[in-house]
Chain A
Amino acid sequence: QQQVKQSPQSLIVQKGGISIINCAYENTAFDYFPWYQQFPGKGPALLIAIRPDVSEKKEGRFTISFNKSAKQFSLHIMDSQPGDSATYFCAASMGGSQGNLIFGKGTKLSVKP
């Protein structure tokens, strides 16, 4: 049973465009939703995270949109750059950020110059 479903599996965007990655979850007890960025040969690194008491969080070019009623959240990368090319994972956990993370299967983003 996959508790966090992520789409698309891969995404190609032109430089300067907007990259959008979507995730859906099933367990309404989840209350912490981070996004991780992974470059080849490296471990995942926290990019941005949100809790369900807000509908949007923005950090620089990265924005998380959260829809509690639909049990969905998404990552938007504005003005995408070739350096953003990486695999992005959404995750969810219970009990705040103390809980174990359940990851989506990842989206491989390629930003073309």
Chain B
Amino acid sequence: DAGVIQSPRHEVTEMGQEVTLRCKPISGHNSLFWYRQTMMRGLELLIYFNNNVPIDDSGMPEDRFSAKMPNASFSTLKIQPSEPRDSAVYFCASRPGPGDEQYFGPGTRLTVT
């Protein structure tokens, strides 16, 4: 099993540009999570999906952030427009079902200049 796949692994963009981060969960997992990791705030949950449906997006910091899961094998996190304070490592994680551990991807390091 390839594990959770995230792309790109690194992204450098200028302030104001649109950024799209991608995630492919482990096949058969029915929950997907997006996290943001910074030195100041640690690991924060942004949003999670169950069976492709967003369940809790209370962690999404602003309307500039949006996430979609069009099918069970793909999710995107979009930031538009991006700002320097969005610079962080963004992790995607998936889980087989309730009561199971979360499996994290390798993360996308985003730098907004």
Contacts and interface: CB of A to CB of B under 8 A. Distances in A.
Contact of B101 (A34, A100, A103): A34
A100 B56 contact: yes
A100 B99 contact: no
A113 B41 CA distance: 31
Interface footprint category on B:
20 to 34
B91 interface: yes
A46 B99 CA distance: 13
A101 interface: yes
Interface footprint category on A:
10 to 19
A43 B101 contact: no
Contact of A101 (B98, B99, B102, B106): B102
Interface of B: 4, 33, 41-45, 48, 56, 91, 93, 98-107
